[in-house]
Structures are given as structure tokens and as C-alpha cells.
Structure 1
Amino acid sequence: MRRVDYLLARGYTALRSGWVVLGVIGLATIIRGAFYLPAVVRESDRLPTVERFAPLSVWAAVWITVGVLAVVCAVRRRHLGLGVAVVTALPAGWGTLYLGAWIAGWSQAGYITALTYLLVACLTLAYYARAAIDDEGEVAS
């Protein structure tokens, strides 16, 4: 039972670290970007709404770059604000894009996709806004 308590305590400590959370979000962003690579996306699963603005390969590069930047910030434990800003701005931007596409009639279900992306952005901001983050990237008690 001690081992389980130890692992739970370590997990709790990690979740209270803004750096660890940023690293996890960054890795998820890299993975998401990899799944936007044209070689991975079947023709039937294309994203016409975002491809109106840039080819899917460009979007994949943007997502991967943002994820790498966030992971680098997390690993180096520097520029927490920058890392949080980029991993929040990208889904917020896509959410706004899909919401606009729905309003313009380009995407019949764009509001659903917009909700998903905007939720990710809001939850990321909520985590970092919930408690003050000190200069070391640890959530203040």
C-alpha cells in the first residue's frame, strides 16, 4: 500500500506543477499535429474548413511547432507564460475559425468542432488561472 500512496503523492505533485502540465499539453499538441500530416489523413477525412486557409501540411507544422515550443519551455523551465500562451492560442484560434465557418455556412457542424477546441483553450487557461503560478512554475497554495 505504501507504493500506491507514494505514486499518488508523486502524481498529485506533478499535477500541481505548471511545468509538468505544460509538457503534457505540449506532447498532446505534437501528437495532434502529427495526425494532421497529409500522409496520415485519409482523403475522406480531410479538413476542408481549415484547408480553406492553409494546406493541411502547414497546419501540421504549426501544431507540431507549437507543441515543441511548449515542451521546450517545460523542460527548460523557462517562459511558462509563452508556453501557455501558444498552447492556448492555437485551439482558441481553430475554435474561432470553426465558429466563423459555421456562421458563414461553410461547415454545418462547425459549432460542435468549435466547442471542442474552445473548451480545450478554456480548460488550459482555467488551470493556470485557478491558482497563481509563481516564478518557479509551481501552483501556489
Structure 2
Amino acid sequence: MNTKELNFAYKVRHALNENLDNLPASTTQRLAAARRKALAVKRDHAPLHALVSETVFAGGIGGYFQQPNRWFARLGTILPLIALIIGLTGMFQFEKQKRINETADIDAAVLADELPLSAYLDHGFSVYLARQTD
């Protein structure tokens, strides 16, 4: 109800209350019957639903992130995710390059050293190389 309808309802109620003693008995009975009928139709446990059309932030800062700066709020959510992805990718690439460099150093040391071919076939030598890479 808007304010005009609400004011009209208050004026009608006030006028009826002022002249309640002057109303005929038939009118009073009809009003009582209408009231009982309205109360019987009224739902006691009707669920209340409200449609929320905008985001509201706690602490009263909701207006700051609303209409004109809505992209700013989205950027504040997406930017940390992008930074996390870039950081994790960088760490993965760094560890991968570190592993490649260690393997290359071992390969260079093996190739630069003068070992007989039987050393490459020895099981203990392959275990030694495996421990060096870990």
C-alpha cells in the first residue's frame, strides 16, 4: 500500500470509530460478519517472500560498490585469483627449470668424465645417479 491508500484507510477507520454508536444494528452486524469472514480467509502461516535485487554489504559500505563502480567490486574479486594463478604457474616453471638444470649438470659431469662403458652398465652406478638427482 502506498501512503495515499494508507491515509484513506486511517480516515475511514477513524470515521467509523467516531460514529460507531450512531450506526444501525443491521450495519453493525454486517460489519461484524465481514470482519469474521476476512479473518477466516486470512492465512495464518503464509510464508513471506522478498525479492532482493541488489547486493548489500555489511558495515554500510554497500553504496560504495553499487551502480557506478560495480566493475571495481568485480575486479577486486578477480584480481587476487589472477595473481594466485600467475604465482602458482611461476613457481611450477621455476621448479621445473631447477630440475632440468640439475639433470643437465649430472649429464655434463658424466659425459665429461672418462668412464669405461662397464660403469654405465653397473647397477650401483645407476643407483648413485638416481640419488644424485634427488
TM-score (norm 1): 0.23
So what's the TM-score if we normalise by structure 2? 0.24
Q: Higher relative contact order by CA 8 Å / sep ≥ 6: 1 or 2? A: 1
